[in-house]
């Protein structure tokens, strides 16, 4: 079967509605959009994928429940995407972002900033060591809380393979009331945003393993963030 025959078109009904008052227009891609470079090739260092230490003072580390989070980045024909830039950002274990604009009354972790990046390998696999993020309040919406989540930005092999999304954790009751999670109207698609416990990636006595696979395009594309 040819690659073209394997490609299944994006299911627009599962992605959050755009805030624009006009309907979205799928663009026909030119060759340069499909083949042009998408990010600089400055070396990404290994330490950048370790959020427990990449902002810590010498000999220190972030406080929290350590976790390995890994997964494959694939395209609409289930082909791995090597060389994709995967960037994540998240709160500390207490639900506070490392940004002075975050006014949540929660403890600062001086050894955690909450950002990391890495590049996928030949199998399209990425991996981070981090700590489990905390929930945080959205006070402009009243007494509401966002469930624990990690933000992802993925630059694939071309501009047409850019995705921004968030992953969540199993069994979190705050998801029921979350306007971002619930903006994905299809239950099966929402469940694709939940990380899976994967003990084969755990580091014994040190960190629990989880997987979060990302599909950049096509029918099974990972739902975008609202
Ligand atoms: Fe967030």
Q: Which pLDDT score is estimated for 44?
A: 93
User: Which entry of 15, 66, 72, 97 is annotated as an active-site residue?
Assistant: 97
CATH 3.30.420.40 describes domain 42-215: no
> Does the active-site annotation cover 201?
no
Distance from the alpha carbon of residue 114 to the mean position of ligand 1, in angstroms: 11
65 membership: H or E segment, kind and range: none
Q: Which pLDDT score is estimated for 15?
A: 74
The answer to pTM > 0.85 is: yes
> Does the active-site annotation cover 97?
yes
> Does the active-site annotation cover 136?
yes
Report CA-CA distances (Å) from 145 to 17, 69, 112. 22, 23, 22
Q: Which pLDDT score is estimated for 141?
A: 85
User: Which entry of 15, 126, 132, 136 is annotated as an active-site residue?
Assistant: 136
**Separation CA 69–CA 89 (nearest Å):** 13
Q: Which pLDDT score is estimated for 214?
A: 97
Q: What is the DSSP string of 161-208?
A: GEEEEEEE-TT-GGGGG-TTGGGS--HHHHHTTB-EE-GGG-BTTTBE
Distance from the alpha carbon of residue 141 to the mean position of ligand 1, in angstroms: 15
Low-confidence ranges of the chain (pLDDT < 50): none
Query: For the chain, what's the residue count?
Result: 226
Q: Which pLDDT score is estimated for 139?
A: 86
Q: Which pLDDT score is estimated for 87?
A: 96
> Does the active-site annotation cover 126?
no
Per-position b or e across 205-223, b if 16+ CB within 10 A of its CB:
eebbbbbbbbbbbbebbbb
Question: Which residues on neighbouring strands pair with residue 88, listed in sequence order?
Answer: 116, 152
> Does the active-site annotation cover 144?
no
Q: Which pLDDT score is estimated for 18?
A: 66
């Amino acid at each position: 079967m040819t690659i073209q025959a394997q490609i299944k078109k994006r299911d627009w009904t599962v992605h959050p509605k755009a805030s624009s008052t006009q309907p979205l227009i799928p663009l026909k891609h030119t060759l340069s959009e499909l083949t042009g470079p998408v990010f600089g090739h400055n070396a990404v260092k290994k330490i950048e994928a370790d959020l427990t230490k990449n902002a810590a003072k010498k000999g220190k580390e972030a406080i929290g429940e350590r976790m390995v989070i890994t997964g494959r980045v694939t395209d609409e024909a289930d082909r791995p995407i090597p060389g994709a830039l995967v960037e994540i950002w998240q709160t500390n274990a207490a639900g506070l972002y490392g940004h002075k604009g975050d006014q949540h009354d929660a403890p600062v972790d001086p050894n955690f900033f909450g950002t990391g990046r890495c590049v996928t390998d030949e199998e399209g696999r990425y991996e981070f060591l981090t700590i489990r993020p905390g929930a945080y309040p959205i006070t402009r919406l009243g007494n509401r809380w966002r469930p624990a989540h990690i933000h992802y930005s993925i630059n694939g092999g071309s501009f047409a393979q850019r995705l921004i999304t968030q992953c969540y954790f199993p069994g979190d009751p705050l998801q029921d009331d979350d306007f971002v999670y619930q903006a994905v109207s299809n239950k099966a698609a929402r469940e694709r945003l939940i990380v899976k416990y994967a003990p084969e990636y755990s580091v014994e006595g040190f960190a629990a393993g989880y997987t979060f696979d990302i599909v950049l395009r096509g029918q099974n594309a990972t739902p975008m963030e609202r």
